[in-house]
Structure formats: C-alpha cells, structure tokens
Amino acid sequence: MTGKQSLSATNLAVHQHLECDLYIHNVYNCSTISTTGSDSPSELAKAQFKRGIDWETSLYSWLDQTNLLLKVPSIPFEPQGLLENILADDRRHFFITGLVFFPPNANLKPLFVQAETQPIIFGKAKPDLLEIKRIGDEIHWRVIDAKASKYVKVTFSRLLQEYA
C-alpha cells in the first residue's frame, strides 16, 4: 500500500503514550512495524483489550442506571444532527455514547497551509463518551476516552461525583 493514510484518535493516543514520532510517521505513511512477527495479537494484548471492554461495559451500565447516558446510533453524525439530539435532551449534565463523526478535514486544511506544514488527514472519530454540560444558555462539551487504568478510573469517578 502506498500513499498517505488517515490518523485516528487511537493512533494519536498510541503516539502520545509511546512518545515516538517514528510510530506516527509509520502509521501515516503506511509502514507497519511488527514486534512479534505475527499479525495476530498476543495473549497479553487480548487480555488488555478484554479488560478495557469490561471496564467500558460497566461504566456505560452505571451511567445508564444513573440516568446520565444518551445512546445514539453508531452511524456518522453531521454536526446539526448531533446538536438536535443534545437540544432535545433536557438534562443539565449527561454523556453521549455511540457517537461517530468525520472531522472537518477541508476546514482544517487552510490552518495547515497557514502554519506552512503538510496537511494531515484525520480519520473517522469514535469517542468513547462526549460529556455535555449546560451552563446557563451555553452547552459545554468534552471528549472522554474511557480507559481501564486505575488512575483514569479514579479521575473519572471524581468527575462524576462532582456533576452527578
């Protein structure tokens, strides 16, 4: 495969975690690096993935039981459709899951030109949660990536205690 690929939130998160510019360069330029010599994930990777899925499942269940969760279909949303869903919900604080959208790459391109750098094409975004808070007439939002690490769980738990 040749040519530039798009970057996903997962690619960017791995890049930040590894602090490795070579990783992000290889992902974007279609290069692959295999550390195991196999395309299938290791047993450790499978266990970590399962742990993450289990954590997300329990988190979503708790948010749903406490009436803090809005589920939307996992189909690409246009900004207006998302805004309509938010405005139709009368809660002052809640989280949205299932959200899928395409970044505004065409709108970002002039910013790359202005910065005199090569444009990067971002891929489809699938945030774990979108936090919505209404403060007066304003809508404040924040993207939350649910992780299974103890530190993030504690931080997220404190966040929910503040707003629930």
| Residue range 114-134, pLDDT digits in tens | 999 888 888 888 888 899 999
Using a cut of 0.85, tell me whether the model's pTM lies above it.
no
Q: What is the pLDDT of residue 110?
A: 92
> Mean pLDDT score of the chain, rounded to an integer?
77
Query: DSSP code of 122?
Result: B
pLDDT of residue 14 exceeding 60, the answer is: yes
pLDDT grade for 104, boundaries at 50, 70 and 90: confident
- Of 124, 134, 129, 159, the closest CA to residue 147 belongs to 129
Q: How many residues are present in the chain?
A: 164
Do 63 and 87 contact (CB within 8 A), yes or no? no
Quick one: CA dihedral 97, 143, 24, 54, positive or negative? negative
70/85 Cα distance (integer angstroms): 9
Alpha helices in the chain, H assignment, sequence order: 9-18, 21-28, 43-65, 79-88, 105-114, 150-163
Q: What is the DSSP string of 116-155?
A: TS----B--B--SEEEEEEETTEEEEEEE----SHHHHHH
Reading phi first (left if > 0) and then psi (alpha if -120 to 50, else beta), residue 116 is in left
pLDDT (0 to 100) of residue 120: 81
